[in-house]
Each structure stands twice: as C-alpha cells, then as structure tokens.
Structure 1
Amino acid sequence: MSDQQAIGAVVHLYVDGMAFCNEAALRKAFHPDAKIIGNYEGAVEWMSRDNFIAAILAKPPAPPGTQPLMDIEITDIEGDAAFVKVTDEFAGTRFTDYLSLLKIDGRWVIVNKLYHLHR
C-alpha cells in the first residue's frame, strides 16, 4: 500500500469512526496525544483525543448503511509527515478538517485536527 493509500485509509477510518460513533476506529486513527482544535459555538475548543471521542460517543450514530460525506480536497506528503484537508459531516453539521499526520513505526496516525465548523 502506498503512503497516499494508507493516509486515505486513516482518513476513512476517522470519518467512519465519527459517523458511526466507533470508538475503536477513532482510537486507531488518532495518536493518543493528538489535539483537536477549532471554534465551536462561539468559543475556541481545545480537546484531547479522549475528550473528542467522548463527545462523539455522546451523539447518536448514523444509521447503518449510511454513506458518510468524505471529500478529501488536499493531501500533501513529505517523507513521514502529511497534511490532509477533508470536508465531512457529523451529526448533521458540516466541517472542514485540516489533519496533520505522522508516520510512526510504519503506521500513519492523526496527530492534530484543526477544524472549521460551517454555518
């Protein structure tokens, strides 16, 4: 599998993990020390991976068979570092996510998520 394909698989794992409230998928996609940052409901939100997963699990999952929105607009890879811009939806809300990934021990993981909440 190429780095491009492996990164796409991590992004897919992340989007499906959010859509279907799949804790195991989210834990696999994100590094344990990852940070999730963005403006949410008028305030800057700084979350750890575990706080982010808890927030996802507090919402109802998408119905089985749903095809989550995942539009990867940019993927930029340089050695063991990568950046992905992806538009997705969670709980009926559209986001643009800027994901920083790092290849650690041969596996790509999200180390940072900066998001924009669309109105």
Structure 2
Amino acid sequence: MMRSVNAPQHLVQSVIVIGRPLGGLQFRRISVWQPLQETIRKSDKDTRQYQAIRLDNDMVVLLVSDPQAVKSLSALVVPVGSLEDPEAHQGLAHYLEHMCLMGSKKISAGG
C-alpha cells in the first residue's frame, strides 16, 4: 500500500551571513534553497523522511533522512541522453555517463 506524506519542514531553509559594514555587524538571511510542497508517495512501511528542495540554480534535490542508516549516500540523475546531444557534440551524454561513474585511486568505480 502506498501513502502520501508531506515532507518534514524542520530542515534549515536559509543561512545567516555576517557582514561588517561601517555601522557595525549586520545580519542578513540569504535563501539558498526553497522547499517544494509536492507530496512524495511512499510505502506505509517506509519510515524514512523525505524533503524535495529546489536550489537557487534550479537543481531539484531529494533529501532522505534515515536515522538508522550508518552510512550516507548521494546519487545524481541526469535527465538527458543521446537524443539530447548537440549536433556538433554527438556522444556527449555517453561521455558524461563515463565521467560520472569513473572511479579514482581512493574511490572505486560505480557498482
């Protein structure tokens, strides 16, 4: 069974930047992301908390909070493919796939 839940609203929604103009310290809130009010559908047995946010650069991020998790994870979904390659740059999506999944000396390749 699936149920709809509203994302938790307790996440930080801005950062405070401290400046030092001539008149002394001033505090100013700068929004770095906005919570999305879209309902996230999940299983009744899923106890994790979800929050979708939109960054100032328009990237949409899904935050998942699981207090029982012992490790963290990040994933990237790029909604493009070979059909979106510019005419002058065929193979760009395939190249991006390999660059995103390529390992390093300290981090193994995807999988």
Specify if TM > 0.5: no
Query: If each structure's strand is expressed as a fraction of its own residues, which one has the higher value?
Result: 1
Instruction: Report which structure shows greater RCO (CA 8 Å, sep ≥6).
Output: 1
TM-score for the superposition, normalised by structure 2: 0.31
Query: If each structure's helix is expressed as a fraction of its own residues, which one has the higher value?
Result: 1
Q: Which has the larger radius of gyration?
A: 2
